[in-house]
Structure 1
Amino acid sequence: MIVQDVIHILEEIAPLSYSEDFDNTGLLVGDSKAKITGILVTLDTLEAVVDEAIANRCNLVVSFHPIIFSGLKKITGKTYVARVVQKAIKNDIHIFAIHTALDNAWNGVNAMICKKLDLKNRTILLPQKGTIKKLVTYVPKEDALTVRNALFEAGAGDIGNYSNCSFSSEGVGSFKGNDASNPVKGRKGETHFEEETQLGVTFESHKQSIILKALRKTHPYEEVAYEITTLENTNQKIGMGMVGSFETAKSETAFLKFLKDSMQTDCVRHSHTTGKLITKVAVLGGSGSFAIDAAKAAGADAFVTADLKYHDFFKAESSILLADIGHYESEQFTKDLLHDALTKKITNFAVVLSQTNTNPISYS
């Protein structure tokens, strides 16, 4: 198995195409074609983590956070980032980061928080825009079923809780091949009219290449005519944050204690209590102040996130309970998610869960 094989597995959970524009995900250090001896899964890639990888004979580190975030102009060992990169290169350690791709995934960071809090009926808090596309193509009538089924097999036609969705209409297409053409229908140099089916299917944007491959493989024409457009429809499975509900409402005091225990945090900073029962909860792992208004608009009684500043708490406006559990604490179970996903797919060598505590914050 090579590094790229592991990347394919990780992209089944969280396609990198759904990473935020500001992020730096993917293979940060190393060679995608290199053979793997072992995988170390971590939240952050620090020097101690690279040492841990070496000790466990793991030459691939799968990290949630990217160690290289902004431009790295010099690798002289004067910063903790440069020292990590130096040590990784020196010891042939490859580093892959998944970060906001997993933040936006349906079974990613926020799904883990919902699981820890036992929240039911989860939905996306902030759906990512532009992730649903539509393919329209034109196929001879007798080949329409074959092409349609191939597109379904490649992942097209999935809408929410439905699959194999398509629309077709009948018409007549025309074309004339030049001297270099090799038409399946008609003769070169002559205008041909063919009864065709116009076939339309929607798909998630990360599936585009495999869907076009299926189209070209099964379409009978030498030149395949098709159109792809981006739709405004909301993708129910891709986006930042989640909203879920308790089966039984909790008082704010009981909720805060439950939150502290469930998320294994030493401190919960929160806005003033509102006097309401907590039933509907919005969650967003990592820095989530930008989603306060979305949580309120979703009708959440509480919003669990991290990195809230002084003035952010004023935005509660006595209508929602804002709870800051800490950045590390909100994402600490992410490495368990990645470890479990990889161990289910890989059995021929070690997938090691890092034991290094990478939390840079201490409480006294």
Structure 2
Amino acid sequence: MIVQEVTNYLEELAPLAYAEDFDNVGLLVGDKKTKVTGILVTLDTLETVVDEAIEKNCNLIISFHPIIFKGLKSLTGKNYVERTVLKAIKNDIAIYAIHTALDNVFKGVNDIICDTLGLINKKILIPQEGTIKKLTTYVPLGNANTLRSQLFKAGAGNIGNYDQCSFNTEGKGTYRGNENSNPTLGEKGELHEEKEVQISVTFNKHIESKLLATLFKNHPYEEVAFEVTTLDNYDQHIGIGMVGDLKEIQDTMKFLDFVKGKMNVSSIRHSEISKQSIKKVAVLGGSGSFAISAAKRAGADVLITADLKYHDFFSAENDIILADIGHYESEQFTKNFLVDYLSKKITNFAVVLSTTNTNPVKYL
């Protein structure tokens, strides 16, 4: 198995197209054609993690956070990022980061938190914009069924709980080929009229290249007329954060103790206890102050997240309880999830869970 085959499985789970623009995801170090000797899964890639990979004969590190976040202008080992990258390169170890691509899919970071807390009726908290596109093309009437079927097989036409969705309009197409043309129907130099079907299908943006390749392969015309537009509609399965319900209403203080136990945290920084009970819970793994307003709009009683600053707690304004459980703590189970996922996909290959604790925050 080569690196590319492993990363293909990861991108089935979390397409890189849904990562945030500021992020740096994908294969950061190494050659995608390298034969894999072992896979080590970690939350962060540090020098100690590279050492662990060497010890365990793993030449591919799957990391949640990217070790290279901003551009590197040199590789001299002057900081932990450069030292880590240098050590990986010297030992022929590839590094792949999944980060916000996994944050923004339904079965990702925030779903892990929801499942850990036993939430039901889960929904995306902040749907990502621009994830749904529409393809419109024009095809001879006799070829419409075949082309439409192939577009469906490529993943087009899925809307919520429905698939094979399309809109079709019959009409008349006209064209005239020049002396260099080779028309499928009609003669070059002559105006031709053809009964055609306008086919429109929606699709998720990460399959655009695949869908256009399918269109060109299965369309009978020499020149294919088509247009792709981005829709304002939201895909309710793509976006950051989640909101769900507890199976039963819980006393607020008992709920916070419950969270401490389930998320394995020693303490929780929280805003004023403005609600005596909790039913609806919003979660956002990692830094989540930007989600406070969305959590309020969703009617959440509490937002569980991390990296809240002093003034962020004021913005609770007694409308919601803000609970900061720590950045590492909110994402700690992600590596276990990835190991389980890859182990099911690659049944004859060892996928190793890193035992290195990479949390840089220490508590007394």
**Shorter-chain TM-score range:** over 0.9
Q: Relative to structure 2, which stretch is displaced further, 179-188 or 60-69? A: 179-188
* 1:35 and 2:64 aligned: no
User: SS of the counterpart of 2:315?
Assistant: helix
> 2:67 corresponds to which residue?
67
> 1:134 corresponds to which residue?
134
Report how far residue 290 of structure 1 moved.
0.6
Report how far residue 97 of structure 1 moved.
0.4
The question of whether the paired residues in 1 share the 8 Å contact of 2:136 and 2:199 is answered with yes
Report how far residue 348 of structure 1 moved.
3.1
Alignment of 1:280-319 (within 5 A): 280-319=280-319
Alignment of 1:38-187 (within 5 A): 38-187=38-187
The whole-number CA distance in structure 2 between the counterparts of 1:63 and 1:265 is 22
Report how far residue 347 of structure 1 moved.
2.6
Report how far residue 75 of structure 1 moved.
1.5
* TM-score, scaled relative to structure 1: 0.99
User: SS of the counterpart of 2:244?
Assistant: strand
> 1:20 corresponds to which residue?
20
Q: Relative to structure 2, which stretch is displaced further, 93-102 or 65-74? A: 65-74
The whole-number CA distance in structure 2 between the counterparts of 1:327 and 1:363 is 13
Q: Point out where structure 1 has 5 or more consecutive residues left out of the alignment.
A: none
Report how far residue 50 of structure 1 moved.
0.4
Q: Give runs of ≥4 in structure 1 deviating > 3 Å.
A: none
The whole-number CA distance in structure 2 between the counterparts of 1:78 and 1:178 is 63
User: SS of the counterpart of 1:316?
Assistant: coil
User: SS of the counterpart of 2:259?
Assistant: helix
The one-letter code of the counterpart of 1:252 is T
* Deviations 1:131-171 (CA, angstroms, capped at 9, x unpaired): 10000000111111111111111100111121111000110
The whole-number CA distance in structure 1 between the counterparts of 2:121 and 2:209 is 32
The one-letter code of the counterpart of 1:23 is D
User: SS of the counterpart of 1:173?
Assistant: strand
The one-letter code of the counterpart of 1:52 is E
Report how far residue 105 of structure 1 moved.
1.1
Q: How many residues align?
A: 364
The one-letter code of the counterpart of 2:300 is A
* 1:358 and 2:362 aligned: no
The whole-number CA distance in structure 2 between the counterparts of 1:44 and 1:213 is 36
The whole-number CA distance in structure 1 between the counterparts of 2:349 and 2:277 is 49
Q: Relative to structure 2, which stretch is displaced further, 100-109 or 346-355? A: 346-355
The question of whether the paired residues in 1 share the 8 Å contact of 2:76 and 2:83 is answered with yes
Report how far residue 177 of structure 1 moved.
1.4
The whole-number CA distance in structure 1 between the counterparts of 2:155 and 2:215 is 12
User: SS of the counterpart of 1:41?
Assistant: strand
The whole-number CA distance in structure 2 between the counterparts of 1:222 and 1:206 is 26
The question of whether the paired residues in 1 share the 8 Å contact of 2:275 and 2:301 is answered with no
Alignment of 1:189-338 (within 5 A): 189-338=189-338
The whole-number CA distance in structure 1 between the counterparts of 2:224 and 2:76 is 52
* TM-score, scaled relative to structure 2: 0.99
The question of whether the paired residues in 2 share the 8 Å contact of 1:276 and 1:301 is answered with no
* Deviations 1:54-110 (CA, angstroms, capped at 9, x unpaired): 111110000000001112122112211111011000000000001011111111100
Report how far residue 7 of structure 1 moved.
1.3
> 2:7 corresponds to which residue?
7
Percentage of identical aligned residues: 65
Report how far residue 275 of structure 1 moved.
2.9
The whole-number CA distance in structure 1 between the counterparts of 2:208 and 2:309 is 40
The whole-number CA distance in structure 1 between the counterparts of 2:242 and 2:276 is 21
User: SS of the counterpart of 1:259?
Assistant: helix
The whole-number CA distance in structure 2 between the counterparts of 1:133 and 1:360 is 41
The whole-number CA distance in structure 2 between the counterparts of 1:182 and 1:71 is 48
* Deviations 1:263-284 (CA, angstroms, capped at 9, x unpaired): 1111111111113321111100
